[in-house]
Structure 1
Amino acid sequence: MRAVDIIMNKRNGKELSREEIGFLIGGYVAGEIPDYQVSAWAMAVFFRGMTAKETAALTDLMLKSGASMDLSGISGPFVDKHSTGGVGDKTSLILAPIVAALGIKDPMMSGRALGHTGGTLDKLDAIPGYRSNLEPAEFRRILAKDGFAMTGQTKDIVPADRLLYALRDVTATVESIPLITASILSKKVAEGADALVFDVKFGSGAFMKDAADGEKLARSLVDTGTAMGKKIVALLTDMNEPLGNMMGNFLEVEESLDCLEGKGPADLMEVTLELAARMVVLGGKAKDASEGRRLCEQALAGGKPRELFLANIESQGGDVKKFLEMRGSYRSPVSAEIRAAKPGYIARIDAWKVGHAGVDLGVGRNRTEDAVSPTAGVQFHLKGGDKVAPGDLIMTVWARDKPGLAAALPQLEESVEYSGSAPAKRQLVLKEIG
């Protein structure tokens, strides 16, 4: 068997066997098949797609390329949530302590920012002392104690995905539905969750630009995950505008705490509570999403999720006192403001342009080895639907350095779209697929 023949078969639209996929993935992990051949295969998959059988085989082979989390001895249920990526999306930080307060364990293995989308681990790393690279024993202990734990993917857990994930980002093959499905599910099954809720985003700031493609990805995740014996629900959510009022690593941690204190923006809370409600249902704590949401809202009002959020910071090595002292003031000294250029209404603030400006500011990265800034980001004072007059403050912007600020400001100015009349209200959660 040769890699070039497997690439050729996929290029020509043939269905690959489990053995062929296993030969390619196994050889890549072992260092026997080079990046350039796997890149060619990924591009062939991007254009030719994969059958459901191929996707299931790829997912299972990636899962079995390394170790899985052992959660035996810890009482469940274990339910996790995964987002396909967006701008200002910090729902994981908010919903994990909410569902934990209701008796659900959330074993969360997260990623870092790549391209225009943010990374949960980069946000957590902005907290002084916080450790997001837990050893398995630490992960188990914190999960049992706090009800949730946050860690990154180790070299031993699904190494095939760790390698392929980085390769896809630099070869323009990120948007391939079979590759996204296999990447997400291999990691999520490896972390030990019994059930999964997927936040599949569509719109300018998402990888899936329209709802139809988003639904295809959602159905692929649901069908493949169900075939692997997991309980799966997906929500199709709008990512045409940044989610919430903050975009940036420390800024988004701050906003997450605001949400747990009852001061969160309406759009962010709507998406978070709808996702959390499904987690509560899959965890057997509610009969339907309506009851699940009510339980989540009651938990928030009681204050326990906030306590668990701060307890987790301490459990993972963070300095809670310092974090709270830094709240509201930990910002880059390099800053600017974006003000309204004309009267009327803000039609929307384009999430795609904001996300790419964020890379220049230092929030995200173009390459996996790039460093990010904890203090860079954007605060949105006004968003889509708000009425404006010339000179009204729309955004405050913080950058890692002056060149980054200079590169980002034109993109941020262009991201603001104006209208002479009030735009229609966005439907944030379009559909449930399960």
Structure 2
Amino acid sequence: MTKKLTRSVVGLGAVVALVATLGACSSPGGDGGEGGVTDLTFTWWGDAKRADITNEALAIFNKEHPDIKVTGTFSDWNSYWQKRATEAAGGGLPDVIQMDLSYIREYGQRGVLLDLSPYLDKGIDMSGFNPTLLPSGQIGDATYGVPTSTTDPAFFYNPAVLEATGVELPQADQSWADFKKFIEDVTAAGGGSYYGADDYTGSFKLFTMYLLQNGKKAFTDDGELGFTKDDMAAWWHSVDELRAEKAFFPPERATEVQPNSPFQSGEVAAGFAWSNFLASYTESTKQEQLDVLPIPFDDPSDSGMYTNAAMLMSAAKTTKHPEAVATFIDFWVNSPEVSKLFGTTRGMPATESAAAGTEFNAIDTQVQQYQESIADLITPAGAPPAIGFGSLETEFINLNSAINYGTVSVEDAVDQWFAKAGATQQ
């Protein structure tokens, strides 16, 4: 989560304008090499360790499919999107692209991604796929990305803080009023050493779930904002009393503990995150086990929680070998051998067959059990975020921080965010 919030956004449209005059780059994927072998190119982001694992998986695919040869390249997050923007502008995207939710609408609406809909269940086996997840890769009737892994929203609770303050773990079906009372109780008992939570209204993802609880969507199917200034103001104003009481983790202290989150400091009882962060949060808080509960809700039929695609697989519209691409994507999302190599480092596997090959440790099992416990609360994933979502999310966090420092009012913060949104989507 923290990593996503600091990612820079590379505007595809701006790069298109800059390099369009350079002409088309070499087409991805050859026409078939010696012996009728089809060559595909694949790119992903990550570090050297992720590259080693990915190359092992590619070797397995190439061995199982001697008629297809996949060659891979990788780079760090920021460089990755800079390169993709340049390639897309010249028509030379790799055949298969590891995709992120923050960018899929931008690339999909620019017309540079292949619609994978014709290949679902006709090349890409969807029989064991999580059905609530597919909309995250769809724009209108087109499917531009197939999720490889999943993660679910959660609040983590630190048992050491609860023991020190004498406050009991909340119930799994707590309301927002219950949660606010919990925060007040922990902070009051903490005596300046422990706090109930940081200001959770600084999470845009949690805001999207609050909107769903209230019958609205953050983004419409065509990529427009699905909420108003009043909705955002109501969300930020919902914790005015907690701010006035100084019940939240102090913003000055939050700055001091960066790049860790307030929860990772070990001084906070509850923190919002995605379930795949359980391992790193357990380690950073030096606990044997953290408690994991759903987000608060007032109506279990409208929890607002949705399964998030940790990453997706997309294909270039210019690929000459869509059937081979579908074969490769099917392997990547369904193969037990691939899942065994990656474990849960990409999130929980999105398909039953991949999950069957995953070797779970104790924390993985805890995440799996949590996901099973909230299955009835999960709603389908919404449409992909608006173009420029990465920068809008960062602006949301920064403005919330300014509210907590008292340098901007809620109303002014809302106006500034909507002005940014208007400029980003032009």
Question: TM-score with structure 1 length normalisation?
Answer: 0.25
Q: Which of the pair has the greater relative contact order for Cα pairs under 8 Å at 6+ separation?
A: 2
Please tell me whether Structure 1 or Structure 2 has the larger radius of gyration of its CA atoms. Answer: 2
Q: TM-score, normalised by structure 2?
A: 0.25
